[in-house]
Every structure is written in structure tokens, then in C-alpha cells.
Amino acid sequence: MARIAMASATAAVAMLLAFSATAIGSSGKSRCPAAHGASAPHSGTRSFHQSHCPKGHGHRRHHGKPAHLLFFSPHHGHCTDARMQPSASNVAQVRAATLCLVNRERARHGERALHWNIHLVTAAQGHTVSMAFGNYFEHVGPGGQTPLSRMRRDGYIYSSRVGFEVAENIGWGSLWLGTPRAVVAAWMRSAGHRANILDRRFRDTGVGVSPHVNGLAHGQSGGIYTQDFGVLVG
């Protein structure tokens, strides 16, 4: 029987993590929402959710540069490849299935779909690979890289003059708990992760996927995921 997170079970194991913080712009008043976070049974959860509104910037929101990439939504409520276990040959399909499932949840709650942003895809995939081969599961990398610093480095937050709101969910699971369906379902059961997925302000996203979970899953197959969220204000 599959167990979640800390359980010492024999079959499948899964764990979630998110991280949360808020920054207030130089005006001393924030037009951006406060941070949110929560915990869920049998998983380590925090939520990353940070915002910054520079002085003089209004509420006009736009996609990150460039905002022209692929968009995945369910077809008649169905997301292809949602039960696919990640492998070296199907990362793109698993990534697309993950976004499709997230957009299905947003549609069910009356929110608009998220669109790929190449800079967030790069940030999310880079962090996923770092965790997978570095044998750790945290938002902060071994060199101190935070979600925000990665999004800056990879070009999503391209100027100190642009306002932003960003967030990140990470998760991993072994065997069937490493499929997009299982990971997104687990995120939706955790208040902090769910809040990031359903945040109506977000427009852009990137998903990172790796099948290399041996160090975390003690030799079992599975998948490790990062999803970055963002909106730019300017």
C-alpha cells in the first residue's frame, strides 16, 4: 500500500515542499497580496510566494518577456499522459501533462489558464535537475540560490524597475506517486500549494521534471517536480 511522505512504507513514497515570503516595495505600501502558507498531514510544506511593487507602478499586469509560448489545457476535461511515470524520453510530455492538470484545476475554480514562459521553464528545470542530482529537496540550492534569485538569473524578472509576484511548488514521489496526476493531486490537498496553483493573479508558469529520484526514493523509480509561477507588474 502506498504511503505519503515520512511513512516507512514499502511501496511508494511522496513528499511536497513549498516556501513562502513577501517583500514590500519601496513605497512602503504593498499593492501585492500578503504571503500565505500552510501545512498538511504527512508532508513537509511551506510556500514560496513573494511580491514586489516598485513605487509608481500601477496594477497593469503583463506576461514575462517573451510571452509567446505553448499553452496546455484539458480536452473535454481530460489531460493526456497524466498517469505517465517520468523517464528520460518523456520529460516534455510529463511537463505538459502537469500544466494541463494545473490549468484544469484553475478552470474548475473560475481562473484563467497559465501560459508557459521560457524563463520560468528554465528556472524550474534547472532547480529540478539540481535537486535530482544533488540529492536534496529544498527551495534553496546548495549555493544559496532561492526561487527569486533563479527567476532573476534566468531572465524572468529582467529589471529592478519591474514589479512582480512569484511563487514555487516542488514535489517528488516514487512509483505511481511520481506521476503528474499524483503530484498535482497532492499539491491540491496542501493549502499552501493549492493557493499558489489557484492564485488568480498569476499568468506565467514553468514546470521542471526529472525521473532521477534514486537518492530520495532509495532506488525506486519516480519523478521530482518544480513549478514556478509569476506575473509582472509594470
Helix (H) or strand (E) holding 111: none
Q: Judge whether residue 92 has pLDDT over 50.
A: yes
**Would you state the pLDDT for residue 97?**
96
Give the single-character DSSP code of 78: B
Instruction: Let me know if 110 is exposed, middle or buried by CB neighbors in 10 A (0-12, 13-18, 19+).
Output: exposed
Q: Per-residue confidence at 122, pLDDT binned at 50, 70, 90?
A: very high
Give the single-character DSSP code of 31: S
How many CB atoms neighbour CB 103 within 10 A? 22
**Would you state the pLDDT for residue 41?**
24
3-state secondary structure of 182: helix
Which has the higher per-residue pLDDT, 22 or 105?
A: 105
Q: Please give the Cα distance from 199 to 19 (Å, whole number).
A: 15
Q: Pick from 49, 51, 47, 50: which is nearest to 38 by CA?
A: 47
**Would you state the pLDDT for residue 115?**
95
How is residue 72 written as a grid cell?
A: 496546455
**Would you state the pLDDT for residue 221?**
87
Q: Please name the residues in contact with 92: beta carbons below 8 A apart, sequence gap of 6 or more.
A: none
Q: Please give the Cα distance from 139 to 130 (Å, whole number).
A: 11
Q: What percent of the chain shows pLDDT beyond 70?
A: 68
Q: Per-residue confidence at 20, pLDDT binned at 50, 70, 90?
A: very low
**Would you state the pLDDT for residue 130?**
95
pLDDT tens digit sequence for 132-150: 999 899 999 999 999 999 9
Which position has the grid cell 494541463?
Answer: 100
157 φ/ψ sector (left φ>0, alpha ψ -120 to 50, else beta): beta
Inter-helix orientation angle 191-198/180-188, to 10°? 100
Inter-helix orientation angle 180-188/91-108, to 10°? 30
Q: For 229, phi and psi rounded to 5 degrees? A: -125, 150
